[in-house]
Amino acid sequence: MKIEEVEAAILLATARRLLRNSQAPKLGPIRSLHYFAPVIEEIKSAPVSESYLKYLRRKLAAIGPTV
């Protein structure tokens, strides 16, 4: 496992949680890094392009801090 894969998985999972439909039920907090394990496996089998990761970073920056 590469650190870049872990970073991409955290970014992707975070974007999925924060950018989801506002009408959807609220999700509980992430309590463990184990939450990201399936997303890391997803990234390993289907890598995400750097341009998409940049896009996600911009989208998350636009919504600002959430904590």
Distance CA 31, CA 24 (A): 20
What is the pLDDT, as a whole number, of residue 67? 52
Looking at the whole model, is its pTM more than 0.85?
A: no
- pLDDT (tens, 9 = 90+) of the chain, 67 residues, equals 899 999 999 999 999 999 999 899 999 999 999 999 999 999 999 999 999 999 999 999 998 875 5
pLDDT at 1: 82
Is-contact 33 6, C-beta < 8 A? no
Looking at residue 42, its pLDDT comes to: 96
What pLDDT, on a 0 to 100 scale, did the predictor assign at position 54?
96
